[in-house]
Structure 1
Amino acid sequence: MAMSDETFSESLGEDIYRQLSDRLVQGVLRPGERLKIRDIAIEMGTSVTPVRDALLRLVQDRALYLRSPRDIRVRTVGMDEYLEVREIRVELEGRAAAAAAERATEADLKRLDKLVRENARALRAGNKRLTTELNQRFHFEIVRIAQMPVHAEILRRLWLSLGPWISENYAMASPLMIDFHYAAVEAIRRREPAAARQALRDDIVIGGGAIMKNYLGQTEGAAGFPDPGMSIALSTTTK
């Protein structure tokens, strides 16, 4: 059966939305970057209408902001918003890691091992874009293994605004950013939900501190902005 024009248009719009979402989540687009509708339409070989519709959806998702009808830009995340999102991630991704420890197959573990190895190589090579992408894929892979689709959708929306910010502040990349990935994989391999949960929380709070340190321009304190991180770590371990 031939696809109707309306169905084709909806499918095309969804595809463009997903492509742009991936660029945001993976940090391909930078905070404050202007997205030109016509340029994107030419790149994707389509008209401006589905591109405009996709961009407006991302404005509603709070990933982009509308300065004017002709000026749509990637949102810049402030520190207060980052800390709020970080606390949500600590809880949701911690739960997902615990579930993954109960459900992971050998094939799942092989994929996680491969992502960690590739991420370490990209970090050593100074490939910021690939390092950011692999970090995101690692976190999303754990949620996939956990079989928690509601968590996955919530986290995807959070990463829409977070991805560009994380990528922007990966400039001074540190091995600390992925150190806890090893601990998370080992805990999942050993079927230890509590340890897996803690490893993901440590990764987000302590490992992510290297990103915050770069953002704040600090010269001391590996975790950077230690007080909020410490309060989150203490509150989550006492629950």
Structure 2
Amino acid sequence: MTEGFALQMVEHDNLGEIVYGQLSDALIKGRFAPDARLTIRDLAQSLGTSVTPVRDAILRLIQDEALVQKSAREVRVPVMTLERYLEIRQIRMKLEGLAARETALKAEARDIERLRELVTRNEQAIAAADWPAALELNQTFHFALAEIAGMTVLRGILNRLWLQMGPMIAASYQHGGRAMIDYHHMILLAIEARDADRAERAIVDDIRGASSAIIEQLAALKPTGSAG
């Protein structure tokens, strides 16, 4: 498990859902690095629970393709292949483009102000080299588009994609620097102008613009047990 990271202690009601939510959030926000080895015992200790809800949550995350079972005792965060990344990128451009279009058509003043605040705080986090905060604000901005658009089904699909992409985006975010947020300003301007076409193009450019940093990180990573 990633060193120095402690999960939030949970209450004993609805443990299965709570643990799944905590681990999902950690994956989406890149708290676990690609190829990190996770143990049920360590996770249960961090969460303050028994091993049963953790085991159940891990099984669900394996079904979500966010974790991979290497053996009976070894679960790891997968290292994504280039082919898989490119497929997910293509899907994200279509779906997040749709969310951006709908947001441009539906956003109210308070929604636009929320997005502006996220962009401003992300700029501040990058300037301060606070990469964990910058990464979280980036993810929140992307998810906010689907929320403002009122597309709950789409939000669920994106959540599953980001479960798989979160560790890789996190591993690349600092390397990408300001390129990871430049297009957020353009997305915001398009939404303010209620220009759905421009909003869609801007989010596609944003996802594509982050590709070089992510592809470079993919080339540098090699899963445990791989040949060579």
TM-score by length of 1: 0.83
Question: Aligned residue for 1:138?
Answer: 141
Measured in 2, the distance between the counterparts of 1:44 and 1:210 equals 33
Question: What amino acid does structure 2 have at the position aligned with 1:108?
Answer: D
Paired residues for 1:1-239 under 5 Å: 11-216=14-219
- CA-CA distance at 1:10 after TM superposition: 7.9
How many aligned positions are there? 210
SS in 2 for 1:27: coil
Which piece of structure 1 moves more, 83-92 or 40-49? 40-49
CA RMSD of aligned residues (A): 1.6
Segments of structure 2 that go 5 or more residues without pairing to the other structure are: 1-10, 221-228
1:108-139 CA-to-partner distances (Å, cap 9, x unmatched) read 11110111011111112222222211111110
Q: Does the 8 Å CA contact 1:97/1:193 hold for their aligned counterparts?
A: yes
Measured in 2, the distance between the counterparts of 1:109 and 1:128 equals 24
Question: Aligned residue for 1:224?
Answer: none
- CA-CA distance at 1:213 after TM superposition: 4.1
- CA-CA distance at 1:167 after TM superposition: 0.5
Measured in 1, the distance between the counterparts of 2:212 and 2:69 equals 30
1:6-43 CA-to-partner distances (Å, cap 9, x unmatched) read xx988210000000000000111111111111111111
- CA-CA distance at 1:207 after TM superposition: 3.7
TM-score by length of 2: 0.87
Larger radius of gyration: 1
Segments of structure 1 that go 5 or more residues without pairing to the other structure are: 1-7, 218-239
Question: What amino acid does structure 2 have at the position aligned with 1:78?
Answer: T
Measured in 2, the distance between the counterparts of 1:207 and 1:168 equals 12
Measured in 2, the distance between the counterparts of 1:27 and 1:200 equals 21
